[in-house]
Amino acid sequence: MAILPVLFSLLIATPTAPVLVAAASSSAVSFTPQDNFLIGCGSSKATSHSDGRVFIADHNSGKYFSSNGRDVMVSISSANVPSPIYLSARIFIEEATFMFPMTRPGWHWIRLHFFALSNNEFNLQNAKFTVTTDTLVLLREFNVKDNNNMNGWFFNEFLVNVTTERLSIKFSPVKGGPAFINAIEVVSAPDMLITDIGSTLFPVGPFNGLSTQSYQTMYRLNVGGPELTSQNDTLGRTWVLNEKYQAHKELGKNVSVSPTVIKYPEGGSPFIAPQSVYASAVEMGSANVASPNFNVTWNLDIDLVYQYLIRLHFCNIVSKSLNDLYFNVYINGKTAISGIDFSTLSGGLATAYYKDFIVNSSMVSSPLSIQIGPWTQGTGAVDALLNGLEVLKMNNSVGSLDGEFSVDGKLANGVNRGTVSAVGFAMMFGAFVGLGAMAVKWHKRPQGWEKRNSFSAWLLPLHAGDSSFMNSKNSLGSRKSQFFSSTMGLGQYFSFAELTDATKNWDANAVIGVGGFGNVYYGELDDGTKVAVKRGNPQSEQGINEFQTEIQMLSKLRHRHLVSLIGYCDENTEMILVYEFMSNGPLRDHLYGKDLSPLSWKQRLEICIGAARGLHYLHTGAAQGIIHRDVKTTNILLDKLFIAKMADFGLSKDANTSEQNHVSTAVKGSFGYLDPEYFRKQQLTDKSDVYSFGVVLLEVLSARPALNPALPREQVNNDGPSSG
């Protein structure tokens, strides 16, 4: 299958600092910021950071600080922290503001440092507060425990383009509790760090206005190399280790050269990333595996519903000659670059190069998957590498990097939070009353007929159709046979020839769906049975380990309202699953979008009851219970009698077996259906599925999608408060 290459321009500009950078330049350069505010909050004396920068004493920052009420300066003598700037803090009881005069407009770093000091009067671990500028929400109802940093200390980094003479940073306590801050950085950044024009992925096209956006650094990885702190980066950035995020580490190998050999291209800026980033990489060609048909993958948990600027850093430090390294890059399972050639793009070996990708919210899923893999159409080495990776969250349409509400608490359409919640609740209450009464009545039926142990050899379908999530790729043929031979309860075995005949030689016209693991084909077996055949693609983005985990979790369930597995094929490199065919397709198609007869109200009610029964069985029929996590109208399939069956369990998760009533996990699912409590707290319960099902009920009642970007802004959402 031909792959359309996606071409992007190299962003280059001349640095504003008086530094000449030639093609062969390898000397380190330093950046001198025109604005350089470093405040050690709560400190009575100047504090030296671990990188040598000096943070001024808090009492000397009075000209920048104002408070509407009481504020307290606290400090401790020692703690297990990397810098003394974390040993003091300023605590606010009322709203407080830092105001910094700007020498010149342009890009500025804002770094907010936090460490919850022990204090007799205030429990900073429970402090909850919002941090804003005049026009931008940086953190909303923020709590240090939400950061999940085991060390206790951390900092949040933002990049904003300041266009005013002053930059204000306001701290607002929530519900009468305190707010606090240990240290603040407001530092100029080079103009060329982010240019105004970029390119979007899926659909491909130009993106104008990058310079008007604000950004939060989500990830900055030094791939294949050591951690780089602000001591190693003239812009004060930190580049962390990549091992935590790299899937299947055996598929890649760390390689490195001396940073002094790294060159920047003619006109390129050394401020984009330091030489040490380009001097190390993870290379796939050195992996000790039998087959070259795999990708090296990094999985990164992100917030949904935002756009992201993804910056990938490359430098060919492994080839011996030019035109010998071509490979592909994938983002969330989509081809971002096909057949990239370093020697053409960067102008030589050991020469720094980077690419920017803007990923819009319609293709965002969590985790975000970044992959490199071989380009099989070339004659060069079967290899690929990545040197560095940055993921920056972009502010949404109301100027927020945290939540859907603006600084003044309004949505983009001007509706406040209270109005949205009230309207959404009223709509959902009406939908739930009727269904809830029927569900209670159904719940009282005899339970013996659906005991779990009676159906221990069945499997639920795995993430077919309209997938909102893509896992990492690892399609090693030698591992497939081992996997299937050790997995029990997969039903009938089919030969590849049988399934080839059933699908008429894998006719493209027989494709009825596309998922993370491959295409789904309509087929007919020799006995006339109609089936859905899910064939793993050699370019699949769903890893074998993740696939195995799903099978082990779901193979013990069967229910009338859950789509069932019929059998499988494990022949050579083929990896195929065969399911019962649902001839009437997804519920969504019958609500809108296709020329189909409308469903009667009786049919709609019966479909909703059936889906609710399948969902209820997931929650209660298994020993631990299973939470679906992606309930939506595309994942409710209808058979020839319009009997509803739940499908697509690629995001499903075992319920917690401990005394807690929730599972703490990264947010996954489809925007428009997400439970706001799950989105905010990252605590998953079966009630999260119930909320999503409530959105489904609204769709069935109104025949409107949960999210329709084609409508005017004020009409985009049909999910009430779930987007808040």
Task: Give the tens place of pLDDT for each residue, 80-91.
Answer: 999 999 999 999
User: What pLDDT sits at residue 475?
Assistant: 30
Long-range (24+ apart) CB contacts under 8 A made by 236-240 are 236/51, 236/53, 236/109, 236/111, 236/185, 236/187, 237/157, 239/273, 239/276, 239/277, 239/388
User: What pLDDT sits at residue 473?
Assistant: 30
The CATH fold of domain 36-189: Jelly Rolls (2.60.120)
User: What pLDDT sits at residue 551?
Assistant: 54
Lowest-confidence segment of 340-344, 578-582, 583-587 by average pLDDT: 340-344
Question: 199 forms bridges with which residues in the sheet?
Answer: 206
CA gap 153, 147 in Å, rounded: 9
Closest to 370 (Cα-Cα) out of 246, 252, 273: 246
Task: Give the tens place of pLDDT for each residue, 392-414.
Answer: 999 988 999 998 888 987 664 45
With beta carbons less than 8 A apart as the criterion, state whether 313 and 372 touch: no
User: What pLDDT sits at residue 675?
Assistant: 64
| Residue 526 reports pLDDT greater than 70 | yes
With beta carbons less than 8 A apart as the criterion, state whether 696 and 604 touch: no
**Omega of the bond leading into 203 within 30 degrees of 0 (cis):** yes
Domain boundaries, the chain: 36-189, 193-394, 418-445+585-646+657-723, 456-580
| Residue 185 reports pLDDT greater than 50 | yes
> End-to-end CA distance of the chain, in Å?
41
Kindly write down the DSSP assignment for every residue of 220-248, as one continuous string. EEETTS--B-TTS-TT---BEESTTTEES
Q: Which of 143-147, 253-257, 264-268 has the highest mean pLDDT?
A: 253-257
Let me know the angle formed at the C-alpha of 404 by 401 and 405, rounded to the nearest 5 degrees.
95
User: Which of residues 650 and 153 earns the better pLDDT score?
Assistant: 153
The question of whether 526 is a catalytic residue gets the answer no
Lowest-confidence segment of 7-21, 41-55, 439-453, 710-724 by average pLDDT: 7-21
Residue type at position 327: F
* Mean pLDDT for all residues in the chain: 77
User: What pLDDT sits at residue 410?
Assistant: 67
Query: Which positions ≥6 away from 712 have C-beta within 8 Å?
Result: none
User: Which of residues 28 and 480 earns the better pLDDT score?
Assistant: 28
> Does the fold of domain 456-580 match that of domain 418-445+585-646+657-723?
no
State percent of the chain over pLDDT 90. Answer: 36
Q: What does DSSP say about strands 353-359 and 197-201: parallel, antiparallel, or unpaired?
A: parallel
CA gap 390, 387 in Å, rounded: 11
User: What pLDDT sits at residue 650?
Assistant: 67
Lowest-confidence segment of 226-230, 285-289, 297-301, 448-452 by average pLDDT: 448-452
Q: Is residue 670 helix, strand or coil? A: coil
User: What pLDDT sits at residue 227?
Assistant: 96
Confirm whether residue 534 is marked as ligand binding. Answer: yes
User: What pLDDT sits at residue 427?
Assistant: 43
User: Which of residues 632 and 473 earns the better pLDDT score?
Assistant: 632
Closest to 590 (Cα-Cα) out of 630, 638, 632, 631: 638
Copy the structure tokens of residue 68.
């509407």
| Residue 465 reports pLDDT greater than 60 | no
Which CATH architecture does the domain made up of 193-394 adopt? Sandwich (2.60)
Which CATH architecture does the domain made up of 456-580 adopt? 2-Layer Sandwich (3.30)
With beta carbons less than 8 A apart as the criterion, state whether 237 and 227 touch: no
CA gap 701, 145 in Å, rounded: 40
Which burial class, exposed, middle or buried, applies to 506 when counting CB atoms under 10 A from its CB (0-12, 13-18, 19+)?
middle
CA gap 342, 345 in Å, rounded: 5
Task: Give the tens place of pLDDT for each residue, 360-377.
Answer: 766 666 788 899 988 877
**In 70-164, where do the E strands start and end?**
71-75, 88-92, 96-101, 106-115, 129-132, 137-142, 153-162
- Give the DSSP H/E element, type plus range, for residue 663: strand 663-664
pLDDT band at residue 542 using 50, 70 and 90 as cut-offs: low
User: What pLDDT sits at residue 291?
Assistant: 55
| Residue 477 reports pLDDT greater than 80 | no
User: What pLDDT sits at residue 267?
Assistant: 78
Closest to 210 (Cα-Cα) out of 388, 368, 395, 337: 395
User: Which of residues 22 and 689 earns the better pLDDT score?
Assistant: 689
User: What pLDDT sits at residue 51?
Assistant: 87
Copy the structure tokens of residue 139.
């953190």
Lowest-confidence segment of 80-84, 192-196, 318-322, 420-424 by average pLDDT: 420-424
Overall average pLDDT of the 578-600 stretch:
84
Residue type at position 705: P
With beta carbons less than 8 A apart as the criterion, state whether 146 and 126 touch: no
Task: Give the tens place of pLDDT for each residue, 670-702.
Answer: 656 766 665 555 556 777 788 888 888 988 988
Which entry of 35, 58, 191, 630 is annotated as an active-site residue?
630
CA 520 to each of CA 289, 465, 631: distance values in angstroms, whole numbers, following the listed order: 29, 8, 20
Closest to 301 (Cα-Cα) out of 241, 361, 240, 368: 368
Overall average pLDDT of the 283-296 stretch:
67
CA gap 315, 328 in Å, rounded: 15
Which CATH code, of 1.10.287.610, 3.40.980.10, 3.40.50.2000, 1.10.510.10, is assigned to 418-445+585-646+657-723?
1.10.510.10
pLDDT band at residue 469 using 50, 70 and 90 as cut-offs: very low
Residue type at position 195: T
Task: Give the tens place of pLDDT for each residue, 294-352.
Answer: 789 999 988 877 899 999 999 999 988 888 888 999 998 788 888 887 777 788 899 99
What's the full length of the chain, in residues? 724
Overall average pLDDT of the 128-149 stretch:
90
Q: In b/e form, how buried is each residue of 202-216, taking b as 16+ CB within 10 angstroms?
A: beeeebeebeebbbb
Query: Which positions ≥6 away from 638 have C-beta within 8 Å?
Result: 582, 583, 584, 585, 586, 587, 590, 607, 644, 645
State percent of the chain over pLDDT 70. Answer: 70
pLDDT band at residue 234 using 50, 70 and 90 as cut-offs: very high
User: Which of residues 48 and 420 earns the better pLDDT score?
Assistant: 48
With beta carbons less than 8 A apart as the criterion, state whether 691 and 675 touch: yes
Overall average pLDDT of the 93-98 stretch:
93
Overall average pLDDT of the 62-91 stretch:
90
Look up tokens 């001591």; give the residue.
231
Closest to 241 (Cα-Cα) out of 282, 274, 271: 282
Lowest-confidence segment of 141-145, 207-211, 714-718 by average pLDDT: 714-718
